[in-house]
Structure 1
Amino acid sequence: MKMTSGIRVTLGAVVAAVSVAAWAEASETVAAPASATDGTMVAASGATSAKTQRKANRALRRKVYAALAGHKEINAGDISVTARSGAITLNGTVTDASQIDTVVQIAKGVAGVTSVTNRLSVQRPIGQ
């Protein structure tokens, strides 16, 4: 019985030592680029850049919604706008086929929009 307990304690100590060694090795590989001045600048600018990009995407999306809201003939409540680095994707439905081209032209006219992907469709009345 004492031998089994001794083996368990030894085995536990070995597992703990290996875990600590693996954790320390992983920390060194992560810490190495951060300690270099170039690595720190890249990591910091990458995080800031992603946050700034998300903020810019939200702002562009709001600008497109505002432009659509300025046209009373378009029901923008059934249209969703996705922005990604200046590329706009329009999803949803409109009541008339001619409105699809109008919505696309309005979106293209917003400052900051580089391209528009049109996934709009015409909403059919119920029963038809």
Structure 2
Amino acid sequence: MKTMNGLGVVLSIAIAAASISAWAQDGASTGAAVTASGGMTAKATRQANRALRRKVYAALAKHQEIDAGNISITAKGGAVMINGTVPDASQINTVAEVAKGVAGVTSVTNKLSVQRPIGQ
């Protein structure tokens, strides 16, 4: 009888240990949450888009000749859209080229325009 109780305890501990280790493997160890269909979760997608947007802003900040004060950037799945104004027409292409050079950017839509002084 004691043997049966001891065997039951050992079996219960083994089942509990197996279920705990299986529960801990929720995909977090890969760095991105993945759904059962193989795609990223909505939260992980938003985080990836924000991270890409920050990388583009950081790349623009490294270029002293670019006035990025009136530039907004949106990122969605590697596609980057740049909106806003720049003080000089030459900066429009420079901003697009800098954004294209950022790792993770697959396409750039450039909707920048030249900021005209008031009264012109």
TM-score range, shorter chain: 0.5 to 0.7
Among 89, 97, 100, the residue aligned to 1:97: 89
Among 49, 54, 69, the residue aligned to 1:57: 49
Among 102, 109, 113, the residue aligned to 1:110: 102
Q: Unpaired segments of 5 or more residues in structure 2?
A: 1-34
Q: Unpaired segments of 5 or more residues in structure 1?
A: 1-39
Whose radius of gyration is greater, 1 or 2? 1
Query: How high is the sequence identity, in percent, across the aligned residues?
Result: 72
TM-score, length-scaled by structure 1? 0.63
SS in 2 for 1:120: strand
Deviation at 1:41, TM superposition (A): 3.6
- 1:40-51 map, 5 Å: 41-42=36-37, 49-51=41-43
User: Aligned-residue CA RMSD in angstroms?
Assistant: 1.6
TM-score, length-scaled by structure 2? 0.67
Higher helix share: 1
Q: Which runs of 4+ in 1 moved over 2 A?
A: none
- 1:1-128 map, 5 Å: 41-42=36-37, 49-128=41-120
Deviation at 1:98, TM superposition (A): 0.7
Equivalent pairs counted in the alignment come to 86
Task: Give deviations 1:21-77, integer Å, cap 9, x for gaps.
Answer: xxxxxxxxxxxxxxxxxxx945xx76x621111100000000000000111111111
